[in-house]
Structure 1
Amino acid sequence: MAEQFFSSNGFPCPALRNPSDHYLRTINADFDMDVEQGHGGSTEEAISVLVKSYKSSEISQRVCLRAAFIRDQKGGIPEKKGSQAGFITQCLVLTERSFINMYRDLGYYWLRLGVYIALCLCVGTIYYDIGKTFGSIQARGSMLMFVAAFLTFMAIGGFPSFVEDMKIFGRERLNGHYGVGAFVVGNTLSSIPYLLMISLIPGAMAYYLVGLQKGVEHFVCFALILFVCMMLVESLMMIVASIVPDFLMGIITGAGIQGVMMLNGGFFRLPDDLPNPFWKYPMYYIAFHKYANQGFYKNEFQGLTFPNNIAGGPPTITGEEILKNTWQVETGYSKWIDVAILFGMVIVYRLMFFGILKLVEKVKPIIKAAFAASPRQSKHISENPSSSHSYEARD
């Protein structure tokens, strides 16, 4: 009925104009010249005419009756809130929207899936049917380290998409559509199906081409460790995205953090050889590569026996001896404890992401206000008035 209402008050919509644009032109002061040329009056006059006409119209009476009915039913004047949706609804809607965005964005997971398939084909053919010779001990360790380190390292490829998500979150958060918690939960849940797909398909190709230890339980553990490591890297990159919004600097920062963790994860330098003051305590225990490598090694070597080529030694060597002496793995707990620790680290990383978002939300306005009130800035502007004009022109 809007078109009829505007027409009856002297503001008909032209034949070839979008009605929405016409209504905005009529009541927006930015288009004063258009209104004056078309109707011989200013925007204020047009608004005054429309308001008076609406107040005396039948539509206004219906709205008042409806409002009174709602007030009687609800037991008071309805209050306007920032968001009418509950936390669960917010999480479900954000999860669905994020899932669809990830499905449509080729660079988010589909390109990575293709790269992972190509890499796992390379790994599978290089280490094809590795066998159980003495030389396969080192080869198995190298192959598993590559999966734990470099395959998960590729998760930084989604960082540009993370930055875009953060920009959208910033705008919608300022409008009060949902909270930080709902965003973190939605982002986490929506990525799980894609990470599972990336872990299972390329992981199965590498696992069975190499000929690692047979058994469904062993493959499930292998895929589960790969999956949780990818979740860890994504959580780490989301933390970086919340602090470093520039995607080039963010990728460099994330790659640097992972490089440090990878270096002291227990492969390039055995645990007992790491310097104690910093690299062994605490960095070795903070790096998720420690638990990924040890989980992979326990899953693969426990229960196997290899021929021993060392002169003067026994004819065979067990997987447990290899874990203790070759890789210096902590065998006091099972591989599932390593998996549980990795999952716990995912939760910690996501809580850190939540905390940083809340902190930035509180601190950024304070910093902006302090910067705006800086005496040095005010003095600079007063002494150089041309600079303020240049900023305005640039804006």
Structure 2
Amino acid sequence: MQETVESSRARRKRAAEAIDILTHAYQSPAYSEKTMNRIAEMKGIGGAPFRKREQASFSTKLFVLTRRSFINMHRDIGYYWMRFGVYLGMGICIGTVFYQLGNTYSSIQSRCEVIMYMIILVTFMAVGGFPSFVEDVKVFRRERLSGHYGVAEFVISNTLSATPYLTVISLIPGAALYYLTGLTKGADRLAYFVINLCMCTFLVESMMMIIAVIVPDFLMGIIVGAGVQGLMMLNSGFYRLPKDLPKPVWKYPFYYISFHKYAVQGSYKNEFIGQTFPGDQFIEKNVTISGLQVLQEKLQVEMGYSKWVDIAILCGMIVVYRVVFFAIVKIAEKARAKQRGMRCKW
């Protein structure tokens, strides 16, 4: 016991001697002058020159995120490949059921049914990628907290990486259906039909992005997304003609904010403009009706603008939905920060 006490005293003595040596060395003119000069420099620059952590540029972040998202979409069979198989199979089925519609009076209604069914199919099936996107949002939130990248990079990279897949799943099934059913021939008309399907899918995915932030649960999100689409389909002008829709609520504003309205009417214009059909032989024989008459009188399509304006409106709605997603994420981040601050005060 006595040896332990003596050993402890010896260590304390050596430590005191070391402290004295360091103190005398610091007080020497050489070290003291250097220290005072360094303090003066730091005062001049407003503090110690800490090295800031460097971050990648916006373009580098965008490239890396786009590449990673593209690879994830390729590997995840439920993101796009499963939908591609369903789209292609259903496109062939629709094409065989409505095989070569011809140019009769009854084909007018059949053409409308083909167009509407395909638009409904691609939009409703678009909710199938919701679970995969929710996982992407969860990863984004974790990486966002670490400060790796912002909301803008995430939104733009997701848009860029999804574009090739959306083009493929719209082009091949759309082309198969188009030629099997015998819709109006022409490369420009086929291109419009495919672009329209692609815009519809893009728009629904943008809508599901908003739902993923508000309702992160897989099942609830799919139910909410399907319900919103059902409401929009009801006011598209197909099941109930525009003039027959009740004006309060259903026509103003739901009819005009339904993206199905612009998708369907644009496809109608693409299909019927420049066409002629024989009239109803049971009513009046040897009479022909033009595609313009079909659009204005039978389908009540708004003819004050071209079909490309309908596409432009769909593009504008996509941008609006993505901006809304951006705004919701930003607002949610600020709300969570304020909530944490209030908890700390309590």
Question: Hey, what does 1:145 align to over in structure 2?
Answer: 116
Question: Hey, what does 1:95 align to over in structure 2?
Answer: 66
Question: Hey, what does 2:313 align to over in structure 1?
Answer: 341
Aligned residue among 317, 322, 330 for 1:350: 322
For 2:322 and 2:117, the matched residues in 1 are separated by 25
Shift of 1:365: 3.4
The one-letter code matched in structure 2 to 1:242 is V
The one-letter code matched in structure 2 to 1:219 is L
The one-letter code matched in structure 2 to 1:126 is V
For 2:51 and 2:159, the matched residues in 1 are separated by 33
For 1:79 and 1:331, the matched residues in 2 are separated by 63
Shift of 1:210: 0.3
Deviations 1:141-184 (A, max 9, x none): 01101112222210000000011001100100000000000000
Question: Hey, what does 1:256 align to over in structure 2?
Answer: 227
Question: Hey, what does 1:362 align to over in structure 2?
Answer: 334
Question: Hey, what does 1:109 align to over in structure 2?
Answer: 80
- Any residues of structure 2 matched to 1:62-211 within 5 Å, and which? 77=49, 79-81=51-53, 84-211=55-182
Shift of 1:312: 4.0
Fraction of identical pairs, as percent: 57
Q: Secondary structure at the match of 1:132?
A: coil
Gaps of 5+ in 2: 1-44
1:311 aligns with 2:257: no
Number of aligned residues: 299
For 2:298 and 2:339, the matched residues in 1 are separated by 53
Aligned residue among 268, 277, 288 for 2:239: 268
Question: Hey, what does 2:29 align to over in structure 1?
Answer: none
Shift of 1:267: 0.4
For 1:280 and 1:363, the matched residues in 2 are separated by 36
Kept after mapping to 1: 8 A contact 2:122/2:200 = no
- TM-score, length-scaled by structure 1: 0.73
Q: Secondary structure at the match of 1:306?
A: strand
For 2:339 and 2:253, the matched residues in 1 are separated by 33
The one-letter code matched in structure 2 to 1:272 is K
Shift of 1:369: 5.7
The one-letter code matched in structure 2 to 1:340 is A
Aligned residue among 249, 264, 268 for 1:293: 264
Distance of aligned partners of 1:176 and 1:287 in 2 relative to their CA distance in 1, 3 Å threshold: same
For 2:229 and 2:340, the matched residues in 1 are separated by 32
Distance of aligned partners of 1:370 and 1:261 in 2 relative to their CA distance in 1, 3 Å threshold: farther
Q: In terms of Rg, which structure is larger?
A: 2
Q: Secondary structure at the match of 2:300?
A: coil
Distance of aligned partners of 1:77 and 1:370 in 2 relative to their CA distance in 1, 3 Å threshold: closer
Q: Which has the higher contact order (CA 8 A, sep 6+)?
A: 2
Distance of aligned partners of 1:361 and 1:217 in 2 relative to their CA distance in 1, 3 Å threshold: same
Distance of aligned partners of 1:275 and 1:78 in 2 relative to their CA distance in 1, 3 Å threshold: same
- Any residues of structure 2 matched to 1:215-226 within 5 Å, and which? 215-226=186-197
For 2:97 and 2:79, the matched residues in 1 are separated by 28
Distance of aligned partners of 1:323 and 1:372 in 2 relative to their CA distance in 1, 3 Å threshold: farther
Q: Secondary structure at the match of 1:317?
A: strand
The one-letter code matched in structure 1 to 2:301 is V
Question: Hey, what does 1:324 align to over in structure 2?
Answer: 296
Root-mean-square deviation (CA, aligned residues, Å) is 1.8
Deviations 1:199-244 (A, max 9, x none): 1000001000000011110000000000011000000011100111
Question: Hey, what does 1:13 align to over in structure 2?
Answer: none
Gaps of 5+ in 1: 1-74, 375-395
